[in-house]
Amino acid sequence: MDTVSAGHYGEQVAAEYIKRKGYRVLEQNYRLRQGEIDLIAQDGETLVFFEVKTWKTYGTDQIHYSIDRLKKKKILSIAKVYLQEHPEYDGNSVRFDVILIQGEGNRIEHYPHAFDEEG
């Protein structure tokens, strides 16, 4: 499986995972010129922006390496645009989570509050 296919596969696994957890998926691959957010979902009154990383193998320290400051800045910028385009979520709290998926989706790690609005 190439990197792009693995990424799409991982995003689909993550979407199914969060649906099972009770989240309502609003968007998959929300794209703007400056980049994309893999998943956007609603968890009660909280809007959650997800970055999904698919790895063949990884250790728990990989989260620290998987999303650098520039990636966080892009996600935050794209999230602001999404919120401007969707005033129906005005007043909802916002959270930024990361989901790491190993290989065929046999291991899923969800990191709520992986970073905050300051990056």
| pLDDT tens for each residue of 85-100 | 999 999 999 999 999 8
* Closest residue by Cα to residue 96 from 80, 113, 83, 110: 113
Return d(Cα 48, Cα 113) in angstroms, integer. 9
Burial of 118 (0-12, 13-18, 19+ CB in 10 A): exposed
The structure tokens 């990056």 sit at 119
Total domains in the chain come to 1
Residue 58 has what pLDDT?
54
Instruction: Give the CATH number of the domain where residue 9 resides.
Output: 3.40.1350.10
- Tens of pLDDT, residue by residue over 4-42, are 566 788 899 999 999 999 999 999 999 999 999 999 999
Residue 48 sits in which domain range? 3-115
